[in-house]
Amino acid sequence: MKKFVNDPANFVQEMMEGLVLANPDTLSWKKEFNIIYRSDAPSNDKVSIIQGSGSGHEPAHIMAVGKGMLDAAVPGNVFAAPPMEYVVECFKLMNSEKGILHIVNNYQGDRMGWDMAREMVEAEGIKTELVIVNDDVAVEDSLYTVGRRGVAGNFFVIKGVGAASEAGAELGELVRIGNKINDNVRTMGMALTGCTPPAKGEPIFTLADDEIEVGVGIHGEPGRRRDKMNTADAILEELFEAVAGDIPFEKGDRVGLMINGLGGTPISELYLLYRKAALLCKDHGFNVVKNYVGEYCTALEMAGFSITLLRLDDEIEKLMNAPAEIPIRVF
Amino acid sequence: MKKFVNDPANFVQEMMEGLVLANPDTLSWKKEFNIIYRSDAPSNDKVSIIQGSGSGHEPAHIMAVGKGMLDAAVPGNVFAAPPMEYVVECFKLMNSEKGILHIVNNYQGDRMGWDMAREMVEAEGIKTELVIVNDDVAVEDSLYTVGRRGVAGNFFVIKGVGAASEAGAELGELVRIGNKINDNVRTMGMALTGCTPPAKGEPIFTLADDEIEVGVGIHGEPGRRRDKMNTADAILEELFEAVAGDIPFEKGDRVGLMINGLGGTPISELYLLYRKAALLCKDHGFNVVKNYVGEYCTALEMAGFSITLLRLDDEIEKLMNAPAEIPIRVF
């Protein structure tokens, strides 16, 4: 597997350096702890929002650091939770009188490190709260989780609490908002190919030319089943029904609809998939008022996608429409 | 090669339908002629800006239709020029008293169709002018061109003439601006893999596990040579020097720097490449005042990238900083 890499041991740090070189006015980098943070954070006027997990899911989470989104992200190596001392340092660096909200995707490795770090910093008087994201409907428990996994729905939780914290919301209010968004968002993904962590040098799994993995996790962990390749519409429809049937979403619901590429799928194919998803929303009587087509939470260069539905009420819709800025941009 | 596709014959149209479903308020679609256009275009107060070429380069060009960018795009099938009658229809649909500027990437198929269409519509009294983009320094003539190819530098030409036309510039002035930007932009690309047009069903070329194609075109046409795989920094440096040495760019130049993914390369690797490009700019005394990291002009799911340098003066920098809106967005 050919990848753009120098020494695989430096992959994450060189990516971070590129990100900071591209955003010299807005981002800072505490290199020895893998922390990317807003240069104007923390502020005692605002709850700090932080997240950390494995690398390899870009733009999540280091490229989601910016006004109205995360104040800091602290990733580990590719598909590996950040070491506890990095997380402790991130809490200390982002300490605000209003407190710190940390968002954790539900993976055991991430949760353990964050729980331990949180105990340590709370003993030092830092005020923290936690929101857990577990939007993946594919499986109830998985290789790396008790309960459901946290995947692309994470974007909406960050967007919502980021907007509310920018508007001055207190820590407890942000916990309510984060949990509410998590309760209203559902995702499922599938893969056409595996992906290759640079330090590993070989794919974490391999699919035959006519095989797909339905319900895959964002680290390539198994999903519901291996299946035969099918048309785009048939694949999309299975995932759509699993997601839509889960809360369940109902006729008349206002929704946000996301087609998220997993890293190696071109945007042309994502729009072809969006087409079917939008038509199915129409069939189900869901009113799509916001849409998202692109890469939000990936698995390196994996070919595949996930579909996310977010149920909107006035409060969530307003938060999704609030201004936000992140390092990745077109212009 | 697994792709998200239904009937390959409908690939382009279904992608277009997805794009229009995702942008119901701003985009319109003339289905029978493959034309995607701003719903508020044309206007007699503004020169219309149009472009067409093969599909498969998304977001170029249908996803570059919007305020301050293109008024319409008229693609053909994947890697195939649009039929002349589609182009004629696009001219007619975008007719404005101030005229129409059409931008053509320098490929023979595109140029022929556009030249013929232009003769036809001018005979009917439609005022048109042409800007040719030929920013690719890899080869002087190529499989599909006399002279250099037009590739990712196209984005900057669209952005510049789009901004100027929005501000009321006349047709002749837009020709001057478009040619000036083209004269100041240089690009070169390389590939780790080929790519598979849906209707063809097999890769247009194949590279061994240790091979790369240096100087590749955006349809997979050959570049300068096949070479052995190398580190990201070494690959980047060769392309950077070819691009920087071409005008040549000089110490003290203000530049825009783009790392453009070709479709299958994850954003993590693009930022790793950007790192080296930014460091080389520093070494050369180029002052990077704008940067662009992402996908701008692709070749389906090809893994690879191109690097573009744009020399800025006050006029071009102002045009690059002007507001613009396109269908693809993060929020």
Q: How far apart, in whole angstroms, are the C-alpha atoms of residue A307 and residue A6?
A: 33
CB contact under 8 A, B305 and A55: no
E strands of chain A, at which residues? 27-30, 35-38, 48-51, 72-73, 100-105, 128-133, 185-191, 211-214, 225-228, 254-261, 287-294, 304-312
CB contact under 8 A, A21 and B295: no
Checking if the pLDDT of B145 tops 90, the result is no
Q: Between B85 and B221, where is the model more confident?
A: B85
Nearest CA in chain A to B8: A231
Cα four-point dihedral sign B39, B43, B45, B50: positive
> What secondary structure, in 3-state letters, does A200-260 show?
CCCCCCCCCCCEEEECCCCCCCCCCEEEECCCHHHHHHHHHHHHHCCCCCCCCCEEEEEEE
Nearest alpha carbon to residue B244 among B193, B187, B289, B205? B187
The answer, for A18 touching chain B at a CB cutoff of 8 Å, is yes
Full pLDDT tens readout for chain A, 331 residues: 899 999 999 999 999 999 999 999 999 999 999 999 999 999 999 999 999 999 999 999 999 999 999 999 999 999 999 999 999 999 999 999 999 999 999 988 888 888 899 999 999 999 999 999 999 999 887 777 788 999 999 999 999 999 999 999 999 999 999 999 999 999 999 999 999 999 999 999 999 999 999 999 888 888 889 999 999 999 999 999 999 999 999 999 999 999 999 999 999 999 999 999 999 999 999 999 999 999 999 999 999 999 999 999 999 999 999 999 999 999 9
pLDDT at A234: 98
The full DSSP string for B141-194 is SBTTBSSPPP-TTHHHHHHHHHHHHHTT--HHHHHHHHHHHHHTEEEEEEESS-
Q: How far apart, in whole angstroms, are the C-alpha atoms of residue B160 and residue B128?
A: 18
Q: Give the sheet arrangement for strand A27-30, strand by strand.
A: A27-30, A35-38, A72-73, A48-51, A100-105, A128-133
Question: Looking at beta carbons, which residues of chain B come within 8 Å of A63?
Answer: 267
* pLDDT bucket at B141, cuts 50 / 70 / 90: confident
**How much is the ipTM here?**
0.97
pLDDT in tens, A213-256: 999 988 888 888 999 999 999 999 999 999 999 999 999 999 99
How far is the CA of A161 from the CAs of A150, A182, A324, in angstroms? 16, 11, 12
pLDDT in tens, B156-203: 999 999 999 999 999 999 999 999 999 999 999 999 999 999 999 999
Q: Smallest Cβ distance to A266: which of B19, B292, B300?
A: B300
Checking if the pLDDT of B256 tops 90, the result is yes
pLDDT at A86: 96
Which one is the CATH code of B9-183: 3.40.50.10440, 3.50.50.60, 3.40.50.1820, 3.40.1180.10? 3.40.50.10440
Residue type, A278: A
B9-183 and B185-321, same CATH topology = no
How far is the CA of B96 from the CAs of A246, A268, B75, B196, in angstroms? 51, 30, 21, 39
Q: How far apart, in whole angstroms, are the C-alpha atoms of residue A311 and residue A250?
A: 9
Q: Quick check: bond before A222 cis, omega within 30? A: no
* Cβ atoms of residues A266 and B301 within 8 Å: yes
CB contact under 8 A, B293 and A328: yes
The answer, for A228 touching chain B at a CB cutoff of 8 Å, is no
Q: Smallest Cβ distance to A15: which of B229, B271, B279?
A: B271
Query: How far A128 CA lies from chain B's nearest CA (Å)?
Result: 27
Phi, psi for B239 (deg, rounded to 5): -65, -40
The answer, for A181 touching chain B at a CB cutoff of 8 Å, is no
Chain B from 240 to 279: CB within 8 A of any A CB:
263-276, 278-279
Q: Quick check: bond before A57 cis, omega within 30? A: no
E strands of B180-253, at which residues? 185-191, 211-214, 225-228
CB contact under 8 A, B278 and A18: yes
Nearest alpha carbon to residue A49 among A87, A111, A102, A128? A102
Considering the entire predicted model, what is its pTM?
0.97
Q: Kindly list the domain boundaries of chain A, sorted by start residue.
A: 9-183, 185-321
Q: How far apart, in whole angstroms, are the C-alpha atoms of residue B58 and residue A62?
A: 25
State the number of CA atoms in the 13 A half-sphere of B29 facing the CB.
20
A61 catalytically annotated: no
pLDDT at A221: 84
* Cβ atoms of residues A224 and A235 within 8 Å: no
Residue of B67, B271, B274, B310 to mutate when probing chain A, most A C-beta within 10 A: B271
Query: How far A295 CA lies from chain B's nearest CA (Å)?
Result: 9
* CATH architecture of structural domain A185-321: 2-Layer Sandwich (3.30)
pLDDT at B319: 98
Chain B from 285 to 324: CB within 8 A of any A CB:
291-296, 298, 300-301, 303, 305, 320, 324
Q: How far apart, in whole angstroms, are the C-alpha atoms of residue B184 and residue B187?
A: 10
Question: Looking at beta carbons, which residues of chain A come within 8 Å of B317?
Answer: none
Residue of A233, A268, A310 to mutate when probing chain B, most B C-beta within 10 A: A268
Of chain B, the percentage scoring pLDDT greater than 70 comes to: 100
A284 catalytically annotated: no
What average pLDDT does chain A have?
96
pLDDT at B140: 82
* Cβ atoms of residues A59 and A151 within 8 Å: no
DSSP letter (8 states) at residue A19: H
Query: How far B112 CA lies from chain A's nearest CA (Å)?
Result: 26
Chain A from 150 to 179: CB within 8 A of any B CB:
159
* Other C-beta atoms lying within 10 Å of the C-beta of residue B125: 7
Query: How far B178 CA lies from chain A's nearest CA (Å)?
Result: 18
